[in-house]
Amino acid sequence: MSGIVGYIGKRQAYPLLLAGLQKLEYRGYDSAGIALQGADGINIIKTKGKVADLQKEVGANLPVGNAGCGHLRWATHGPPSKANAHPHSACSDDFVIVHNGIIENYLPLRGWLAGEGHRFASETDTEVLAHLIEHYYRGDLLQSVQEALQKITGSFAFIAACHKEKDRLICARRDTPLMIGLGEAENFISSDLAALLHHTRKIHILENEETALITSSAVKIYNSECTVMQKRAQEITWDVTSAEKGGYKHFMLKEIMEQPQALRETMRGRLSDGGQKINLAELNFKAQEIENISKIFIIACGTAYHAGLVGKYLMEKILRLPVEVDVASEFRYRDPLLCAKTLVIVISQSGETADTLAALRLARERGQQVLAITNVVGSSVAREADKVLFTWAGPEVAVASTKAYLTQLLALYMLTLYLAAKRQALPPARLKEIGSALFKLPAQVENILSREKEVAAIAGYLKRWESTFFIGRNLDFAVALEGALKLKEISYIHAEAYAAGELKHGTLALIVEGIPVVALATQKAVLEKSLSNIKEIKARGGYVLCFVQEGMEALQNEVDSIFYLPTTADIFLPMLAVIPLQLLAYYTAVARGCPVDNPRNLTKSITVE
């Protein structure tokens, strides 16, 4: 996820573009840049780093021009660098583009354009689009953009400018937000409302496959057949702060709601044909390396560690390989047994967690090959690992990790599927079944999110308690740990997660009348056992909030509240069961008046030991 802004109109563009980028900084960035239509050409200024670094790069001699665009990069293809920063031009500086999204087929397009004589200055997917537009240009920028769009697959929100057509900006959108603000003799473009609302509340929110031609006095919007559409602008009533949160009260809720999109972006270019094909060529595994793996270590902290626990169950079940999962702060001091045929996986949303980074370095010192799953391109973990599988969740602002966790799980499922295919661990038909079930997950997550109020009602019981338990068996236990952490870290309720079969070995002594126990019972294979654990709790007066798959009505009369999840194979339930637990933690914390996005004593990335 990046941030883009555009301006064309009666005023000098630079100060307005800069202010727009400052409004988008919360979206995360690793580089920044602007392009302005000057008298003799398009003036591009860009740099690695923040908007403040861009201002230093510009210096005192402010660029002039009444039209231009700006960009804050959240790197996906190509590490953070000046060359990879946007705006990108084509062979000629007459063409400039800023882009948010992922162009899936950029590599074959790059090869074809290179064959047509185009020369590239960066490693990005975006630059390919600039050259493609240039390739189709025959005097009409709109037409060349519309032709280029026919060739690309993936997601985009972009602004294109051409020096031969200084009086207009062209923009287009597919699966990534882009909006146009209507002013008086000026118009504005942005990835989100936060950068527009200071100037205007009259907004066009572009729909998928729409393109727009924007001058200082007019906005024309075209559908995918390149026909002009008569669209009325919306009058937006949000304030700027709520706009930064996408209209949600907290970043955490916004990020919970972004999970279907985060899953789709993380699948993009990797899981295709409805899940029938898995492609992780980006990991550059040699066939022998995959064949040689005899053990897997997964190392992480906090929520990322909980994702690793799900990975253990998955990989042991599907790959039939031993998997050891460890918190990084323990791994690095226990002189772990590593051998040449061990694959070490580290998981880190920020890619900067000190303990995880230290564990990565220890494994590499021991000669291990390390594969990182991280959400930040250019992070220390991403730079120091041998292989990286990026999650494309976009910036996660709330301290409590939600969409990053879910995309970490997806990365582990895809990695397991990929390794299973390469090691022929399962018959092709079974692999396709798993792939197509994975492909359906974003829609199933959407279904659960649409029932958020059902969970909010359940949270009403939790809010007045100071301690609670989360129990589950098998994969449900791994998810119970994550659910407990979510509740603890934002509502300050002491929540302990237990393997359900363990309660009778001591913890049952703490089950008193009315105490809330969140029971995950989604695993058909151990449903009877889970039911008997629930009965143990009920017999002692516990209040059971149960989460099961549809069809498990047998538990309805055994518990105090029940939430039905969409049915799927047991192994995918963690991707679904965690959603109501995130919402449960969120609504409980809100009910208790806690600072949801910034809980006490915690920060987003623990870069100290």
What are the residues binding ligand AGP (CB under 6 A)?
301-304, 348-350, 353, 356, 399-401, 489, 605-606
- Nearest distance in Å: CB 309, ligand AGP: 13
Nearer to ligand AGP, 556 or 607 (CB): 607
φ, ψ at 119 (rounded to 5°): -115, 135
Nearer to ligand AGP, 211 or 353 (CB): 353
- Residue 256: closest CA among 605, 594, 582: 582
- Nearest distance in Å: CB 82, ligand AGP: 26
- Nearest distance in Å: CB 518, ligand AGP: 17
- Nearest distance in Å: CB 425, ligand AGP: 28
Percent helix, percent strand, percent coil in the chain, to nearest 5: 40, 25, 35
Nearest residue to ligand AGP, scored by beta-carbon proximity = 302
Contact 335, 382 (CB under 8 A): no
Nearer to ligand AGP, 136 or 405 (CB): 405
CA distance 82 to 250: 33
Which distant-in-sequence residues (6+ apart) come within 8 Å of 198 by Cβ?
A: 19, 23, 240
Q: Which residues, listed in sequence order, are joined to residue 57 by a DSSP beta bridge?
A: none
Q: Give CA 423 to chain center in angstroms.
A: 29
- Residue 504: closest CA among 467, 552, 471, 459: 471
- Nearest distance in Å: CB 602, ligand AGP: 6
Nearer to ligand AGP, 126 or 356 (CB): 356
Contact 333, 371 (CB under 8 A): no
- Nearest distance in Å: CB 334, ligand AGP: 19
- Nearest distance in Å: CB 480, ligand AGP: 15
Cα four-point dihedral sign 140, 145, 150, 151:
positive
Q: Could you tell me the two tokens for 301?
A: 């902290």
Q: What is the 3-state secondary structure (H, E, C) of 411-450?
A: HHHHHHHHHHHHCCCCCHHHHHHHHHHHHHHHHHHHHHHC
Nearer to ligand AGP, 304 or 309 (CB): 304
Which distant-in-sequence residues (6+ apart) come within 8 Å of 115 by Cβ?
A: none
User: Residue 467: left (phi > 0), alpha (psi -120 to 50), or beta?
Assistant: beta
- Nearest distance in Å: CB 350, ligand AGP: 3
Nearer to ligand AGP, 288 or 601 (CB): 601
CA distance 593 to 487: 13
CA distance 559 to 519: 9
User: Residue 186: left (phi > 0), alpha (psi -120 to 50), or beta?
Assistant: beta
- Nearest distance in Å: CB 584, ligand AGP: 14
- Residue 345: closest CA among 317, 305, 286: 305
Q: What is the DSSP string of 249-306?
A: SSHHHHHHHTHHHHHHHHHTTTEEGGGTEE--GGG---HHHHHH--EEEEEE-HHHHH
CA distance 593 to 601: 16
H-helix or E-strand containing 126? Answer: helix 125-136
- Nearest distance in Å: CB 468, ligand AGP: 17
φ, ψ at 400 (rounded to 5°): -75, 120
- Nearest distance in Å: CB 175, ligand AGP: 26
- Nearest distance in Å: CB 348, ligand AGP: 3
